[in-house]
Structure 1
Amino acid sequence: MLTMRVGGSWSKARPASARPAALPWDGTTALVVEAQAAWRRAVGHDLEAAAGWSAVPSRDRASVQGWGQAGAADCEQLAGLWGAVPAKDCGVVGRWDHTIRPRDVRLRLIYNPMPARKDVQVGCPSRRVDDYGPRRNAAAAVQASLYVPGPGPLAFNFGGRPYFPPTSPLVFFSFQYMPPAPRIQPVDSSSRVRWQDARRLNAQARLPWGRARVLDGPLTGIEYVDYPGPVKPLPEPPTDPTILDTYMIANTVNLVVLPSRTPIEAKNVRIGLDADSFSWKFSADIFTKAALDLVAPGEDGAKEIELDINGWTWVLLVEGYSRQLKFPTEAYSIKGATRTQLLASPYAPLRTGLNAAPITARQAATEQLLFTGFSIVWDAETVGPADWTFPAGALSYQSQTAMQVIARIAETVGAVVRPARAADELEVRPRYPVPPWEWGQIDAPIDRIIPPAMMTALGGEWTPQPAWNACYVSGTSHGVSMLVRRAGTAGDNPAPDVFDDWITGQEANRARGVHELSKGGNIEIVGVSIPLFPFADDHGVGLVLPAQLCRVPEESGAWVGLCLAVDIAAEGTGASRVQQQLRLERHF
């Protein structure tokens, strides 16, 4: 926009004053300045005309006396008239609150017009953005709207410098351009891509679709003409024990103090483990006060001892002792547990944790054993239980020991924590390796075979449960809900619903549902007593551990039971008698 402002008159100049200038816009000559004398101050006779506005004549001043001070009598009469405002005037005060009249409001709207009707319907001062309009280039719009002088009198040349008008010119030019403000155009309006936090995956260590499940097992290499698919070999069953008329076992029971390996004479040694415990429990009686001083806990904590029964070895912590002195006899007893007790109270510190990133259950259990010297065995691909993922913020615990957290993780999917006998190691495995309705199949994973000829005692207790065939399993804040139904049934007899904060994956839902269904049905708890065969004896039963499946080939029919607990008792001294007492869960 070009703006011109001229400070002088533009009337036609007289011939005597007209002179050509060197340039059309050159400075004004002295002769033109003289022509501006018509705009100088008025002559003296104009000033005389101002006398009409002089002071008021003297006759007017005389009238001022009419406004003099009132007399004293007038003041006394009028003094009471200007007292306090009557009460009726107080009620008129409210009339001055609303000073704006409707006509004033209309006048105000002239200088502040209301938005257009379409904006009033929207209800907000902002308008809709230009979602799908053509893209605009602000720099190109400014460049296109610039004024470019053409050939003629008005030819500007700034010499590559910006133009700044003088401080007080007669004529100046304004090159300012105010482009219209276009509506906002979102950059990604047409793509409609949702932006959210990316998932944190370690692509080098873990496949995005999880670990593969071993279904067919190792191939046998056998080729069949009419079957092109893979062949799954049957699992190798345990070796059948040798049935003899008489079994001669020379039992050995040795108890030594570590690390000096000083032997201790003991009697009535008992050690056992059940499926719900994470350490072997031990107790024994010793004879002398000197032996007690070797194993009694002191300032350095619990003492370690090693127990060997027929070649089966345990490393134990002596946690406490008791003594009874009665003349002329004395009796001492000690008790303890395996080293996995160090991960629990009162040895392990309490912890509070919350996962900030997704983590698997196996990683969470392994993390609890950092800097403890212990390790964990979790074969999720072949033995089980299945592994699952905790989303960020799902694995939360407060004031828990490391063993409590690991046991809680295992319990979430119906698994147990089985400790090692003489090593700093834990094993997580399902309580039911396979559901009870699959125990009679030929490919059931049988761990031990217990022939009746080796039993020294057999008993049972009938404990029936409802025959559940469905279970609803769900997480709380995270995870999914799943109805686990036994295949081939209608699912019309559901077990109690299960809700767990740490069930955050479908694998966990299925494993927990199968575990709950496995606890139902007609159940008998069978008690079996068998000898503890030596460790190197391949013809005997060996040591039976909890969560192992055992087949009992009775004459009436073979059946399979799940080991719930094992207790080993070595009674007497010297050539003591060693018995292995088992509790088996049998399903009908």
Structure 2
Amino acid sequence: MLIYNPMPAKKDVQVATTSRRVDTFGPRRDAAAVLQASLYVPGNGPLAFNFGGRPYLPPSSPQVFFNFQYTPAKPRIQPVDSGGALRWQDARRLNLSARLPWGRARVLDGPLTGIVYPDYPGPVKPLPVPPTDPEILETYMIANTVNLVVLPSLTPIEAKNVRIGWDADSFSWKFSADIFTHAALELVKPDAEGAKEVELDINGWTWVLLVERYSRQHKFPTEAYSISGATRTQLLAAPYAPQRTGLNAAPITALQAATEQLLYTGFTLTWDAENVGPADWTFPAGTLSYQSQTAMQVIARIAETVGAIVRPSRDSDALEIRPRYPVPPWEWGQVEAPIERIIPPAMMTQLNGDWTPQPAWNACYVSGTSSGVSMLVRRAGTAGDNPAPDVFDDWLTGEQASRARGVHELSKGGNIEIVGFTLPLFPRTDDKGVGLVLPGMLCRVPEESGAWEGLCLSVEISATGTGASRVDQQLKLERHH
């Protein structure tokens, strides 16, 4: 039989809690004041001394040590801020009269194109600004001007048959001209101080050039003189620049490695890896090695690794690294393609074509050698069943670099036509929307049968006749059918 007792055990019932009341209403105590009040301070009355004598008795007790210490009393604790009060009221109301505008949202990603993006909400950067539409006229009146002066004296030189050009595979503009007199030749001929510099101005477009070679043809009763040279970027190559050997001891990016080659040369480098390309990548320690190379050879090799070109400046000590193909050829017809020039057929005076078909590659295996990554780059939407030749490069040490090189190799395939045509070089102040076309620019040609896009490969400007009676630029465009 079990009996339930709801009462707790006796040992738990007799548990009590002690408490002490605090000094709620007493005066506020100051420990420093209490200590000061406990000290004895003699008054400032007169002191009476008694110098009476008495016999000296040596002490028989041990020495006595005194310890004077004040022990304050332990008063009851006192509450602090017991009389505090809290104020409350409604929160502040700000911008009660503000009004929100109602209307169409502001577009931040460029103009609306009507493109449906199934995989992501939209472009992450604004669409490129479309090029200026060229001005189409029935007749173009151009007052051509060609000026050639010696630097730094600005001594003018009379010249004819001036030619200057640049292609995507070179790193400097090439120049040639015929001059009339032996005195003019003496002004530009190299001497003990090195190659002379001249400034060429054609319809407002300026080049600063080094005169490297000259020749003379003597046929009685006349003499003919000619000179040739290149822009100042030639100073970064042989025989002007020294050959060097290098190996990176620490990780370094491709942009840093290219910039390092221009130290103490006065040249600057532009590489917009974010907006223009190509993408930058990192060389691990011990992977960036070269032997007996000039500064330009190293920079050109870095650009070639990712399928880029080196664009030299015309009149300053500057270089720019740009992708040879701004976008793959199969994207040239899209709205977001970075078209830089529109060249109307009405401006063309000559036209020719060269059919150079290549296999329609849709995949490419790209890999580094001692370091880096191996990657199969495949064109989206294809089976990758027609691979291009494999690419192995010591400097392909990053994923972005391997991808850029693979896209570059695929861009070289397909039905390719090299289209050449001639059009005037309009003055820089009034270029009619065309102006000077440079290699690496993506151009659009609006023909009657349909517009097509092409990549500029080379440009050559010719000023023929005495006084530059005619100035033209010959272009070569790579067109993919």
In structure 2, what residue type is equivalent to 1:557?
G
Distance 2:302 2:127 in 1: 31
The structure-2 alpha-carbon separation of the partners of 1:399 and 1:289, relative to structure 1 and needing over 3 Å to count, comes to: same
Alignment partner, residue 444 of structure 1: 337
Alignment partner, residue 569 of structure 1: 462
Distance 1:410 1:218 in 2: 33
How far did 1:526 drift? 0.1
The alignment-based identity, stated in percent, is 82
Distance 1:413 1:236 in 2: 26
1:358 pairs, out of 251, 259, 262, with 251
Alignment partner, residue 248 of structure 1: 141
The structure-2 alpha-carbon separation of the partners of 1:520 and 1:219, relative to structure 1 and needing over 3 Å to count, comes to: closer
Alignment partner, residue 278 of structure 1: 171
Q: 2:148–2:157: 8 Å Cα contact kept in structure 1?
A: yes
Q: 1:525–1:584: 8 Å Cα contact kept in structure 2?
A: yes
How far did 1:348 drift? 0.2
How far did 1:219 drift? 4.5
SS of the residue 2:403 aligns to: helix
**Structure 2 residue 297 is matched with structure 1 residue 404:** yes
**Structure 2 residue 281 is matched with structure 1 residue 388:** yes
Alignment partner, residue 384 of structure 2: 491
Structure number with higher helix proportion: 1
Distance 2:271 2:127 in 1: 23
Q: 1:250–1:575: 8 Å Cα contact kept in structure 2?
A: no
In structure 2, what residue type is equivalent to 1:554?
E
Alignment of 1:438-517 (within 5 A): 438-517=331-410
Q: 1:279–1:341: 8 Å Cα contact kept in structure 2?
A: yes
Alignment partner, residue 554 of structure 1: 447
How far did 1:221 drift? 11
**Structure 2 residue 437 is matched with structure 1 residue 523:** no
The structure-2 alpha-carbon separation of the partners of 1:493 and 1:221, relative to structure 1 and needing over 3 Å to count, comes to: closer
Higher relative contact order (CA 8 A, sep 6+): 2
The structure-2 alpha-carbon separation of the partners of 1:239 and 1:396, relative to structure 1 and needing over 3 Å to count, comes to: same
Q: 1:285–1:331: 8 Å Cα contact kept in structure 2?
A: yes
SS of the residue 1:403 aligns to: helix
Alignment partner, residue 257 of structure 1: 150
Alignment partner, residue 163 of structure 1: none
Which sections of structure 1, spanning at least 5 residues, go unmatched?
Answer: 1-216
In structure 2, what residue type is equivalent to 1:423?
S
How far did 1:234 drift? 3.0
Distance 1:577 1:220 in 2: 41
Deviations 1:403-440 (A, max 9, x none): 00000000000000000000100000000000000000
Alignment of 1:264-343 (within 5 A): 264-343=157-236
Alignment partner, residue 435 of structure 1: 328
SS of the residue 2:430 aligns to: coil
In structure 2, what residue type is equivalent to 1:331?
A
Alignment partner, residue 208 of structure 1: none
Distance 2:340 2:190 in 1: 38
How far did 1:576 drift? 1.9
Q: 1:568–1:580: 8 Å Cα contact kept in structure 2?
A: yes
How far did 1:236 drift? 1.5
Alignment partner, residue 419 of structure 1: 312
Distance 1:384 1:378 in 2: 7
SS of the residue 1:363 aligns to: helix
How far did 1:230 drift? 6.2
Distance 2:478 2:149 in 1: 35
Distance 1:575 1:369 in 2: 37
Which of these two proteins has the greater Rg computed from alpha carbons? 1
Q: If the length of structure 2 is used for normalisation, what is the TM-score? A: 0.75
Which sections of structure 2, spanning at least 5 residues, go unmatched?
Answer: 1-106
Q: How well do the aligned residues superpose, as a CA RMSD in angstroms?
A: 1.9
Deviations 1:165-194 (A, max 9, x none): xxxxxxxxxxxxxxxxxxxxxxxxxxxxxx
Distance 1:531 1:494 in 2: 42
Alignment partner, residue 377 of structure 1: 270
Q: 2:369–2:393: 8 Å Cα contact kept in structure 1?
A: yes
Distance 1:365 1:531 in 2: 36
Structure number with higher strand proportion: 2
Distance 2:413 2:299 in 1: 26
Deviations 1:88-138 (A, max 9, x none): xxxxxxxxxxxxxxxxxxxxxxxxxxxxxxxxxxxxxxxxxxxxxxxxxxx
**Structure 2 residue 432 is matched with structure 1 residue 539:** yes
Q: 2:110–2:127: 8 Å Cα contact kept in structure 1?
A: no
The structure-2 alpha-carbon separation of the partners of 1:221 and 1:329, relative to structure 1 and needing over 3 Å to count, comes to: closer
The structure-2 alpha-carbon separation of the partners of 1:438 and 1:578, relative to structure 1 and needing over 3 Å to count, comes to: same
How far did 1:328 drift? 0.9
Distance 1:234 1:283 in 2: 40
Q: 1:533–1:540: 8 Å Cα contact kept in structure 2?
A: no
How far did 1:280 drift? 0.1
SS of the residue 2:259 aligns to: helix
How far did 1:235 drift? 2.0
Distance 2:428 2:175 in 1: 19
Alignment partner, residue 204 of structure 1: none
Alignment partner, residue 234 of structure 1: 127
Distance 1:220 1:519 in 2: 30
Q: If the length of structure 1 is used for normalisation, what is the TM-score? A: 0.61
Q: 1:238–1:448: 8 Å Cα contact kept in structure 2?
A: yes
Deviations 1:437-475 (A, max 9, x none): 000001100010000000001110110000000000000
Distance 2:262 2:108 in 1: 32
The structure-2 alpha-carbon separation of the partners of 1:444 and 1:219, relative to structure 1 and needing over 3 Å to count, comes to: closer
SS of the residue 1:536 aligns to: helix
Alignment partner, residue 368 of structure 1: 261
In structure 2, what residue type is equivalent to 1:320?
R
The structure-2 alpha-carbon separation of the partners of 1:462 and 1:229, relative to structure 1 and needing over 3 Å to count, comes to: closer
Deviations 1:236-288 (A, max 9, x none): 21111111100111100000000000000000000000000000000000000
Q: 1:415–1:428: 8 Å Cα contact kept in structure 2?
A: yes
How far did 1:324 drift? 1.2
How far did 1:229 drift? 5.4
In structure 2, what residue type is equivalent to 1:531?
P
Q: 1:257–1:306: 8 Å Cα contact kept in structure 2?
A: yes
SS of the residue 1:331 aligns to: strand
